[in-house]
Structure 1
């Protein structure tokens, strides 16, 4: 059946030209609309860079590399991890904050960098809320209160007793002033009414090395970074910092069992720079949900001591970040830690 326009076009050459022009323009519009939709849905069209603002071999690096492999499979595009350590994570975080807002630069970071550094550093160089958009919360990692095997005690209570007998003489190492493992020691001092002396290092690796070598007796270190030393008997695990025992170390008590109310875990999450287009963010969120649902990845992360988070929306992740900024800000203030 012909329309009125088609009938006129058959009888009159002028109408025929107008009809053909309208048809061509309509077809071109459909092609352009399809092309635009196709371009939007084609992300990613080139490799993605995942910035890890900590050194290779640390907790965040281990998790980032495991996640990047699975995310590459889900997106069908390479996801390359690049370590940009320095200034407690500020250098890599600044780099990601200033990256193009196109979804091709992501930040795999930890709560100590994203929630503690803004209170610790006078000029961290980034705003954890305004400069970033949460993509996915991956999980949490407890720290472990570790002792050199030469320490005669076996429990947190043994440590507390020894510290009270020698106020200010027992030392603990940390990755640096204001780092999570420093603040965990300050929390223990405050809540247990003891005076462990803090000795800052430039990173958790040299801190652990000196505890392994017996130069210092204690250190707080993340579970993934310390698990091999614990299993090899090179370090003695006194307690984990999470509210409950870790499935990876079921025989090691939570610190809260000796010091009620004690809790301090490290979360790990993926962010994009703020301003990434909504369709790209939606695809990243969907891809990360599929990535974190993969059993093989979950098994690998759990073997590293990561306690996987329940499925969390970006909005819920943003709320967690805001809460931690307030909580850790108060702890930093009470500890007196500050870095110019």
Structure 2
């Protein structure tokens, strides 16, 4: 047997011999998937849905390893230092790769240098909510009201530099209105105050916000995604009033820098197959996310670069820093 394998290796060249364990045989053992956010959070739950499907398809374990801290940057930095053999992957969001690099210049990693982009797997739009006492029924009326009442309206966020904060800043800039920032520690209290009319506007996740809309406690005006969301198809997009406005939290898979192209393609194909499963789509919908359209690693990379550039401008224009 050994002689036969050796002969095959000699006949096809040393390069093919070297590729066998890394590319063609992947995954030959359990794969560690670092999630740089806490267990039971949205990213963790979404990662488990998709990883479970990949595991079923490939017949190999994909083990979620939560490494939270510093807005996801601790786990991302750990993943960047792993071996580029496909057995340590990073399941992350726009937070670590499109936003934090502009808020925290002293990060322990460089997105362009330290990672291999692999797959874009899901997106989560936000919903624009207003307190019911506000006399507006759509985005156009909200903008008109804000312009007619300068300095009167405020917006709640889950903290400085969060996607909730950046969504509101981008909206204000495109609409040409001035809204006052009211930061909270998380969204629970902000929802309570929005219902009570203490704050006027909030960009929230669809699964968190829409139950309050259904009950009549809040009013939803639009979603932030480029296209209407299947999770709230009755709502228009903000872009229908403000062309060019688009914001989602994307979820994606990275490896350390230096992964071989053949291996990257194999991992990409595995995740692209998983997100086309109807069962995965149904499970993601319960978490407020939608499967991404299957992309090549290059397409994923281009999307992230564009997203990063957009948030870099918003952060710079508003002088936001966390360091």
The bucket for the TM-score relative to the shorter chain is: 0.7 to 0.9
1:50, 1:206 → 2: CA distance? 33
Per-residue displacement from partner, 1:113-164 (whole Å, max 9, x unpaired)?
A: 3112211212122111211111111133221112244445332234334433
Higher mean displacement: 210-219 or 69-78: 210-219
Is the alpha carbon distance of 1:316 and 1:80 closer, same or farther for their aligned partners in structure 2, counting shifts above 3 Å?
same
2:89 corresponds to 1:89: no
Per-residue displacement from partner, 1:5-36 (whole Å, max 9, x unpaired)?
A: xxxxxxxxxxxxxxxxxxx9955734887997
2:306 corresponds to 1:318: no
2:12 corresponds to 1:29: no
Cα distance, 1:47 vs structure 2: 2.9
2:100, 2:139 → 1: CA distance? 28
Q: Which blocks of at least 5 consecutive residues in structure 1 are unaligned?
A: 1-23
Per-residue displacement from partner, 1:78-125 (whole Å, max 9, x unpaired)?
A: 223333333332222222222333322221222233112211212122
1:220 is aligned to 203
Contact between 2:33 and 2:90, CA under 8 Å: does it hold in 1? yes
Is the alpha carbon distance of 1:35 and 1:97 closer, same or farther for their aligned partners in structure 2, counting shifts above 3 Å?
closer
Aligned to 1:311, the other structure's residue is in SS state coil
Per-residue displacement from partner, 1:31-64 (whole Å, max 9, x unpaired)?
A: 8879977644443344323222334454433321
Is the alpha carbon distance of 1:328 and 1:32 closer, same or farther for their aligned partners in structure 2, counting shifts above 3 Å?
same
Contact between 1:174 and 1:219, CA under 8 Å: does it hold in 2? yes
2:236 corresponds to 1:253: yes
1:213, 1:83 → 2: CA distance? 36
1:126, 1:205 → 2: CA distance? 32
Aligned to 1:172, the other structure's residue is in SS state strand
2:66 corresponds to 1:54: no
2:173, 2:237 → 1: CA distance? 17
Matches within 5 A, 1:58-69: 58-69=41-52
TM-score with structure 1 setting the length: 0.80
Per-residue displacement from partner, 1:264-317 (whole Å, max 9, x unpaired)?
A: 222221111112345543331221122122222133334544343332111111
2:183 corresponds to 1:200: yes
Per-residue displacement from partner, 1:213-245 (whole Å, max 9, x unpaired)?
A: 655332112334434444454442121112332
2:147, 2:261 → 1: CA distance? 56
Higher mean displacement: 233-242 or 55-64: 55-64
2:317, 2:94 → 1: CA distance? 19
1:179 is aligned to 162
Asked which structure has the greater CA Rg, the reply is 1
Contact between 1:66 and 1:301, CA under 8 Å: does it hold in 2? yes
Aligned to 2:113, the other structure's residue is in SS state coil
Is the alpha carbon distance of 1:103 and 1:219 closer, same or farther for their aligned partners in structure 2, counting shifts above 3 Å?
same
Per-residue displacement from partner, 1:232-260 (whole Å, max 9, x unpaired)?
A: 54442121112332222122121123334
TM-score with structure 2 setting the length: 0.84
Q: Which blocks of at least 5 consecutive residues in structure 2 are unaligned?
A: 11-15
